Amino acid sequence: MIKQIFIKTIKSPYKGGILKLGGTFYGQGGVFLLKPLCDVGASKITPNDTTKQFIAGGCSGIAQAFFKAPFTTITIKKITLPENTPALAIYRNITKGNNIQRLFTGCGSMAFRNGSYWGTLFSLRNFLIKKGQQLKTGELVEQGQNSKSITRKQTELSEWENALAGTIASMVGATVSTPFDLIAKLQINSNKPNSIYKTAIKVMSKEKGRIPIKAFYRGFPFIAFRMGAAGAAISAVIRLSERIFVEEANK
């Protein structure tokens, strides 16, 4: 089943494309709407900015897993079903007998997946950007400029540096979250979803010529490339929103 899921995903990257696109916009929009609220709560827990970003990003990611769950379940089912299976038919089959809760199969795994990914993305990106700003400040001081006269604009990272920080943070986040992603997919495609938690490692260990850790990361180069590109785009959106807020505050 693991092999089938990943082979079909790689061979048919646009299968279920409309569902994926809709789920992505819906899910990412939810994260960015919830993040400011989570920031407020995280600020009361810790003064450390990087830790705050991890908590706020993780909480918004966990919430995303639940309100995006129906999109995720139907999309994953569509990838593994025959070509041209309508999404509505998949929905009806999943919820047959008023089992609406089946749309939320694997939600626990996806909550771990999204929480770890978004928490890592926001916190590591914040850490890398702050380190970059510190390096630029150090260079200006070495050139003879007074540290108190250095402006924020002088230490601001370039567009490429900002994108690189987002790419690195996203790829690290993908590394942390990928095992949970695979377990959720196995749960969604299983007739006994709750048993996957007990049998996932057992199933992976039986993969011929592979140890469990490799089985968890099958297809990871493709995932890392995709998530790295997504991280650069997300970082650009974060930077744009920060600039808008700064400009509004300075008016």
pLDDT tens-digit readout, 114-132:
899 999 999 999 999 999 9
- The three-point CA angle 156-158-159 to 5° equals 125
Under 8 Å between Cβ of 107 and 66: yes
- The residue with tokens 């089943």 is 1
Indicate the average pLDDT of the chain: 77
Q: What is the pLDDT of residue 237?
A: 83
Based on the structure, what is the number of domains in the chain? 1
Amino acid at 97: G
pTM strictly above 0.85: no
Output the domain CATH number for residue 171.
1.50.40
Q: Is the pLDDT of residue 10 over 70?
A: no
Residue span of the structural domain in which 70 resides: 2-250
Radius of gyration of the chain from Cα atoms?
21
- Give per-residue pLDDT as tens, 235-250: 888 888 777 765 555 5
Amino acid at 135: L
Under 8 Å between Cβ of 223 and 178: yes
CB atoms closer than 10 angstroms to residue 92: 10
- Give per-residue pLDDT as tens, 133-166: 888 888 888 888 887 787 777 888 888 888 999 9
Nearest of 4, 93, 109, 99 to residue 61 by alpha carbon: 109
Integer CA distances (angstroms), 200 to 76, 115, 214, 216, in order: 18, 20, 13, 9
d(CA 188, CA 32): 26
